[in-house]
Amino acid sequence: MIQKNDSFIVKIEDMTTEGEGIGKVEGFPLFIKDTVIGDEAEIKVIKVKKTYGYGRLMRLLVPSKDRVEPACPVARQCGGCQLQAMAYEKQLELKQKKVKNNLARIGGLTEVEVQPVIGMEYPFRYRNKTQVPFGKDKEGRIVAGFYAGRTHTIIDQEDCLLAQPVCKTIIHIMKQFMEEFHIEPYDEQAHRGLVRHLLIRNGYYTGQIMVCVIINGTKLPHSEELIRRLCGIEGMTSICLNINRERTNVIMGKQMVWLYGTHYIEDRIGDIRYRISPLSFFQVNPLQTKKLYDTALSFAGLTGEETVWDLYCGIGTISLFLARHAKMVYGVEIVEPAIEDARTNALANGITNAQFFVGKAEEVLPEQYRTKQVKADVIVVDPPRKGCDETLLETIAAMQPKRVVYVSCDSATLARDLKYLTGAGYEVKRVQPVEMFALGGHVETVCLLSNRKPDSYVHLNLKMEDYYRIKDAQKEQGKK
């Protein structure tokens, strides 16, 4: 029986989505951080569960042929880049395999072909958004950097190799400012201290910079001096405070205090310019976002005559991309400031065939379909990691669009939702993973579904009113 503190020599056979190597001892799987497929290593068991355990790499005996020296000096401690020790082409193969396995295991889609991942030429310095926690080390010195894996221990590192180089300068200015004016960083355990995080957003193509200081209070002492120092950086466009006084791990609060410049920065994807506010969702990898949206546009197959619904639309990034090629696009997003940005972005780009709704996609679309009998030729969904609500999937199936383009950041929930949609009469035609989080474990996937029977609701073959009457009756019966 395997126990904590046991030592073994293992061969790493596979890797998890979080970048941990998987080795087996007498058939018992152990997850081992800092190892890659092909490594032979001496490990120490640090935790044992009923069907699996965790190990710590003690000594690398035979390195894998796919192992490389991480470029970042704190790659092993930091939890941000789980795959830096693996050759980049092998990272892409691992992500393709991850998508394929999830579609087969969860979605039952064993015959679907998954294309090779669209990768990057240079997988560093791509992020346009950096969130840095502040704290203190054991000696009481201010630290700023990134959390160690599975912890909230801050690894002091000003220069993340995924961030834009200017972020190092901004973080250094903030640390010096706090030290000079004796401004305390936030202590999660005690719920004391002022500065929680620093959010930096970069316009990759415009060069514009936004700095947002997240504080456990209502004001930042000596903020005029911080503004003066930050404004010495070329491209500084917006400086603000975000008020978060809650005892929570959620980074951003809801209240903004503007200190300098505009309330947004701008950037572009292709020839469309976007306004981005602190709370807006905007893809973090601008180089790959163009490839991602080009793929989604290609899958949508627009001719200029289609009505499109873009669900979880954010600031309208995909919506406006599609609007240039569609008759009408409707976007839905729960974050109200994002919808304000979306409407502004449409106006700024001269796009008049896009309309936006504030609310949950799983509430807005069913309500519009039920009360106004809206139609859709194409539906695009780009949900958060939890995937689509079943009510939304039901409505998509009832609306019977010709095509559904599903953009996913989690292939496990994608597989679950594809299983539902294929059961409702749709066929998976194309699956294209796109590298959006180079050196990390996640992968974005664009999937095209085609309606096999576009003129009726496949299982029920009912009119809309009958469909919802039955669904309401089922819900009432469930309450009893």
Cα(185)–Cα(12) distance, rounded to whole angstroms? Answer: 40
Question: What is the phi/psi pair of residue 74, to 5°?
Answer: -115, 25
CA angle 345, 340, 305 (to 5 degrees): 55
Task: Choose the catalytic residue: 160, 212, 409, 447.
Answer: 409
Concatenating the DSSP letter of every residue in 171-231 gives HHHHHHHHHHTTPPBPBTTTTB-SEEEEEEEE-TTT--EEEEEEESSS--TTHHHHHHHHT
State CA 3 to chain mean position distance: 36
- For 81-169, list the strands marked E by DSSP: 129-136, 142-147, 154-156
A 10 A CB-CB count for 413 gives 18
Alpha helices in 18-141, H assignment, sequence order: 88-105
447 noted as active-site residue = no
Q: Alpha carbon of 384 to those of 28, 211, 256, 351, 371: distances in Å?
A: 33, 25, 24, 26, 27
Non-local (6+) Cβ contacts of 474 within 8 A are none
Q: Which residues pair with 57 in a beta bridge?
A: 43
Tokens 């000079």 locate to 180
By residue count, the chain amounts to 480
User: Cβ(25)–Cβ(8) under 8 Å?
Assistant: yes
| Catalytic residue list | 409
